[in-house]
Amino acid sequence: MYRGMTVHREGGAPKFFGDPLPSGNRDELITMEDMTRFPAGQTLLIDADDTLWENNVYFERAIAAFIGFLNHRTYTPEKVRQTLNEVERETILEHGYGLTSFTRSLVQCYERLSPGPVSEEQRERVRGFAKTIADHEIELLPEVQETLAQLGSRHRLILMTKGNHAEQADKLSRSGLAPFFNAVEIVAEKDAAVYREVMARHSLAASTSWMIGNSPKSDINPALAAGLNAVHLYHKDTWVLEHAELAEPGRGQHLIELDGFAKLADIF
């Protein structure tokens, strides 16, 4: 699926370029040379976490350390993880995304799975696993800076990220990428209604506007539902709560799948 790129045109059969897929029909195969760039003047809404910089991998490491510390007598690590996912879904509904929310989830999961009463010292140890995440430097994904510079010379770029406002703004500032963007949108949730609001706020024409990101659930499916085109950027460490089947694009809509940020400069 992610070996090259899949281009969906007007809801028709997908066309592939890059490595031929094992079951690929030769008639459907198009090469890089066949692919022309979309004209200048598109608006590209670009996700941040796991699109511009690493994010989820730090959470995965913290969770692995947490599961080791919990060292549950009967639950397998998978079962502990499943419980944490459930707790996280509940916490997010009430408190939104972000590190404070995640810390709360870890402590709650620990309390739920501990056989006896939990001491304040144990709680502090658990909070410590979440704290390691905030200490990371921003680690940009490959060729992000160069690619943004190229894209910005031809198109309007808007950062579109969800999460805790202060945390996301701080990451953007530390990344050094803020000057590449014409505008920044930090939203509590990415659903079709929010995409429509953003389109209205920036007077975006659906046919020349794109949402680009790693999450099928937050970046692709609701953006398509709002009428935008979309580019799915595959990231191997996408958070399990962001997994979903990619929706089919509607008539006249484009959905493109790429496996690297730099490839954006080939099509935009």
Residue 263 · residue 244 · CB < 8 Å:
no
Tell me how far apart the alpha carbons of residues 175 and 130 are, in angstroms, rounded to a whole number. Answer: 21
Nearest to Mg ion of 21, 186 (CB atom): 186
CB of 210 to Mg ion, least distance (A): 15
Tell me how far apart the alpha carbons of residues 252 and 84 are, in angstroms, rounded to a whole number. Answer: 40
Q: Tell whether residue 50 is a contact of Mg ion (CB under 5 A).
A: yes
Q: Tell whether residue 88 is a contact of Mg ion (CB under 5 A).
A: no
For residue 138, the 8-state DSSP code is P
CB of 243 to Mg ion, least distance (A): 12
Query: Cα–Cα distances in Å, from 178 out to 51, 138, 159, 162, 210?
Result: 15, 13, 9, 16, 19
Nearest to Mg ion of 215, 221 (CB atom): 215
Indicate the residue type of 18: G
Nearest to Mg ion of 91, 214 (CB atom): 214
Tell me how far apart the alpha carbons of residues 257 and 249 are, in angstroms, rounded to a whole number. Answer: 12
Site mask, Mg ion, residues 205-224, x = CB under 5 A? Answer: ---------xx---------
Nearest to Mg ion of 35, 246 (CB atom): 246
Total site size for Mg ion, rule CB under 5 A: 6
Nearest to Mg ion of 30, 247 (CB atom): 247
Q: Specify the stretch interacting with Mg ion by CB under 5 A; choose among 48-56, 111-119, 190-198, 256-264.
A: 48-56
CB of 237 to Mg ion, least distance (A): 10
* Pair type for strands 209-213 and 229-233: parallel
Tell me how far apart the alpha carbons of residues 244 and 224 are, in angstroms, rounded to a whole number. Answer: 14
Nearest to Mg ion of 49, 185 (CB atom): 49
CB of 35 to Mg ion, least distance (A): 25
Nearest to Mg ion of 17, 102 (CB atom): 102
For residue 159, the 8-state DSSP code is E
Q: Tell whether residue 161 is a contact of Mg ion (CB under 5 A).
A: no
CB of 233 to Mg ion, least distance (A): 9
* SS3 per-residue string spanning 56-105: HHHHHHHHHHHHHHHCCCCCCHHHHHHHHHHHHHHHHHHHCCCHHHHHHH
Q: Tell whether residue 185 is a contact of Mg ion (CB under 5 A).
A: no
Q: Which two tokens stand for residue 242?
A: 């962001």
Of 4, 44, 49, 87, the one binding Mg ion (CB under 5 A) is: 49
Q: Tell whether residue 47 is a contact of Mg ion (CB under 5 A).
A: yes
Per CB under 5 A, residues contacting Mg ion are 47, 49-51, 214-215
